[in-house]
Structure formats: C-alpha cells, structure tokens
Amino acid sequence: MARFSGKVALITGGARGIGRATAQAFSAEGARVIVADVDAEASEATARALGGGAISLGLDVADPGSVKAVVAAALSRAERIDVLVNNAGITRDATLLKTSDEAWDSVIAVNLTGTFYMTREVAPHMVARGSGAIINASSVVGVYGNFGQSNYVATKSGVIGMTRVWARELGRKGVRVNCIAPGFIATDMTAKMPEDVLDGMKKKTPLGRLGAPEDVARAYVFLASDDASFINGQVLGVDGGLVAGT
C-alpha cells in the first residue's frame, strides 16, 4: 500500500526542479499533492502532469496575505494538509562588500520568513488533528558556510534553528518537524554552469557526482512518512558525503 494514501502534501516551490521531483515522489506514494509556486503557470503544468487530483495554487511565500489565501484554498479544496514541504527558495549571490539591501532582503524574505509564514499558517491545522509532518529545506552551506552567500547561508542556518525550535514546540502535539541539507544538486541552475565548475563540485563530493532532484525528493518523502515516526528536530544531509569530506 502506498505510504501516503488518503493524505495531502503541500509543496512550496513545487513547479520545477527539486520541488517538482518532490511533488512527483509524493504523488507516486499515493498523496494528493498541492503544488504551490510563485510561477502559477508552471505550477498548473506540474499539477496537470501529476494527475490524481493534484491541485495548483499560485503562492508568494514572502507575502503573508498570499500564504493565508493559499492555505485557506488548500484546506477548502483538499480538506486537510498532512505534510508541508517548505521547499521554495532563491539565491542572490555576492560577496559581503557587494551585497545590496535588495539582495539581502529578498533572500531573507523568501527563504527564511517565507518558511516561517507557511509553517505558522499550516501548523494549527495539524495540531488540531494531532498529527502532521513539516520538512524544511536547509542546505549544507547552512552548516559550514559558503563564499559569496551571506544572505543564503543566513537563511539556511536560520531554517535549521527554527526547525529545532518547532520540533520542541510541536512534537508534543503530534507534529514532527525536520529539515534536509542538500549538497550540490543537478538542477536547471547547475546546468548553466561551466563544465570546470561542475567538475569541481563533483570532486568535492566523496561520491563523485552531483545529486539528482530525486535524491532530495526521496529524503523529503522518508522524513514525512511513518518510517520516520520517531525522527524529530533533525537535519538530514543529502550531499553525497560533502560535509564529511570537508
């Protein structure tokens, strides 16, 4: 029997890349998937491709009004949210001395504050039912830092901190909260990088390759499933041993 039969998974940033792979993975496990993304057209295309009653909703996680409207629409149409995957995220890379106010504020707004808005809005419904799983997207750079990413690293470190706080607060109410920390993953963004840069990424990774979006998606599914029923407040590295190798 599929692990998520009869359950509903809401995935932010679910229209493409890791988010789309995650939507596909949950759908394959029987979940009804809500694809929420700032690109409403791409979100609709992903939902159509999934079938199985998948729902598409346009979402700006940095806008509390949009978050409230999307969660309300999700509950109206699907009646419940069993899994929240806070996957939406952006980068605006620059060294400290070249980071603009806009670059700082926009990354904080989406990656950190957006995760807060979504969780604050969804958690009460999970608490009311006494069950639920929330998985947040951190990064290996949130653990060890990275050149030219003050804003991004701040958000991903912050996500780890919030995850641990929420695990303590919500665990006693039946809601588990964990996060994943991906390493170098092959996405549309990495596909545009020079070959020598990609080779460098592979060499830094003990497994000798980039991760696939599906590698991250399977980690999301595991942490949301009953197979992880006693895992709470943890950071799961999906990095091919990158952190271990540094």
Phi-psi region of 189 (alpha: psi -120 to 50; beta: other; left: phi over 0): alpha
Cβ neighbours of residue 100 closer than 8 Å, sequence gap 6 or more: 94
The two three-digit tokens of residue 98, written as one number: 């070249």
CB 179 within 8 A of CB 154: no
Phi and psi dihedrals of 72, rounded to 5? -60, -45
Annotated catalytic, 152? Answer: yes
The two three-digit tokens of residue 101, written as one number: 């106010």
Q: In what order do the strands lie in the sheet containing 235-238?
A: 55-58, 32-37, 8-12, 83-86, 132-137, 175-182, 235-238
Q: Catalytic residues, which ones?
A: 152
